[in-house]
Amino acid sequence: MSGDPRRRGFLFGRPPTGPESARELQRLPDWQQSDPKWIKTAVRRAMALPAGGWHVIDAARAIGERPRQYRIDDRELVVWRGAERLLAAPNACPHLGASLADGRVRDGCLVCPWHGLVLGERGHAGWRVLPSYDDGVLLWVRLDGVEQPSAKPFLCARPARGIDAVVRMEAACEPEDVIANRLDPWHGAHFHPHSFGRLRVIERTADSIVVRVTYRATRRLGVEVDARFDCPDPRTIVMTIVDGEGAGSVVETHATPVAPGRSAIVEATVATSDRFGFRLARRAAGLVRRGMLRRAHRLWVEDAAYAERRYALRTGTV
């Protein structure tokens, strides 16, 4: 898409107020700024962070009346609405192994579809509910045995009042490929010209990046913000708008291993603004959420292709 809204169109909204630093790095073309060594080191540092065994399953609102099956780290789980909270457990019935996700929920308990065994929080014959955590937007499960467990997932700060939208898709890659994609923001304006006008990295440390980016609303209309990327755990990268319109909004990208060479990308956008229009938008949250999801999905189809390509290259399967 031609026509950077910043140059050949209009910017709207409150712009970022900080200066664009004129570091030497920024004078280089994007392909030189996007330093494979820096990305590799930043990915390695992220991979060394603790995660406490916690994995994002899906949006909390994705769990409805019926139980749902998920595969996480090569384990088959069933997730359902218990009497008081969302619950997760192994999907195999402890009697003869039926898929509990094919059963139904009665009074907050699972009813096995084969012989009617009722299973709930109290467990049965070695079958136990797993530790789970509903953070209000996303549902997490803790899988013990590999990582040092923590009481809760390592959550990032979210705006107190926001509109959230969650997109989930799977890709043929591992979580580190998803994180590596996000630790290369330099691809943004080249690879997603429909969504980004101009994108410059204005700050870079060993673990985080701040970009000044023009998001396109239309071909010639955009909004410019400063956004910081950092990793609170090895399977999450968070983009926080730190200056400009919508400051405080976050996009959390969670990469959950599904099976060897396969990951789920669960991305939660929690948008906020102190504008009056946004208060109205919160009332029409369903509509706004659909627009946010369309946009996030389009971006992730492309970024999943990037992550899959990286995985194929590093595992020698291209």
Binding site for ligand FES (CB under 6 A): 93, 95-96, 98, 112, 114-115, 117
Q: Which is nearer to ligand FES, 93 or 237 (CB)?
A: 93
Q: What angle do CA 289, 290, 291 make, to 5 degrees?
A: 90
Q: Which is nearer to Fe ion, 230 or 303 (CB)?
A: 303
Residue 209: CB minimum distance to ligand FES, A: 50
267 binds Fe ion (CB under 5 A): no
Q: Give the side-chain half-sphere CA count within 13 A for 120.
A: 11
Q: Which stretch binds Fe ion (CB under 5 A): 75-83, 202-210, 215-223, 300-308?
A: 300-308
Q: Which residue is nearest to Fe ion (CB)?
A: 303
Long-range CB contacts for residues 208-216, cutoff 8 Å, separation at least 24: 209/183, 209/185, 210/242, 211/185, 212/16, 212/20, 213/185, 213/188, 213/189, 214/4, 214/5, 214/6, 214/11, 216/1, 216/5
Spatial separation of the C-alpha atoms in residues 254 and 317, rounded to whole Å: 24
Q: Which is nearer to ligand FES, 47 or 98 (CB)?
A: 98
Decide: 184 and 176 in contact? Cβ < 8 Å.
no
Spatial separation of the C-alpha atoms in residues 31 and 201, rounded to whole Å: 12
303 binds Fe ion (CB under 5 A): yes
Residue 196: CB minimum distance to Fe ion, A: 9
Residue 300: CB minimum distance to Fe ion, A: 8
Q: Which is nearer to Fe ion, 303 or 308 (CB)?
A: 303
Q: Which is nearer to ligand FES, 77 or 266 (CB)?
A: 77
Among Fe ion, ligand FES, none, residue 93 binds (CB under 5-8 Å by kind)? ligand FES
Residue 191: CB minimum distance to Fe ion, A: 6
Nearest to 78 by CA among 108, 58, 99: 99
Q: Which is nearer to ligand FES, 117 or 304 (CB)?
A: 117
184 binds Fe ion (CB under 5 A): no
Among Fe ion, ligand FES, none, residue 258 binds (CB under 5-8 Å by kind)? none
Size of the site for Fe ion (CB under 5 A): 1
Residue 78: CB minimum distance to ligand FES, A: 12
Residue 317 is which amino acid? T
Among ligand FES, Fe ion, none, residue 303 binds (CB under 5-8 Å by kind)? Fe ion
Q: Which is nearer to Fe ion, 49 or 305 (CB)?
A: 305
- Find the largest Cα–Cα distance for the chain: 69
Among Fe ion, ligand FES, none, residue 114 binds (CB under 5-8 Å by kind)? ligand FES
Among Fe ion, ligand FES, none, residue 14 binds (CB under 5-8 Å by kind)? none
Q: What radius of gyration do the chain's Cα atoms show?
A: 21
Mode of pairing for the β-strands spanning 118-119 and 132-134: unpaired
Among ligand FES, Fe ion, none, residue 98 binds (CB under 5-8 Å by kind)? ligand FES
- DSSP H or E segment with residue 223: strand 221-233
Helix (H, G, I), strand (E, B) or coil at 124: strand
Mode of pairing for the β-strands spanning 54-59 and 10-11: unpaired
Inter-CA distances, 114 with 37, 95, 109, 111, 221, Å:
54, 9, 15, 9, 57
Contacts with Fe ion, residue ranges (CB under 5 A): 303
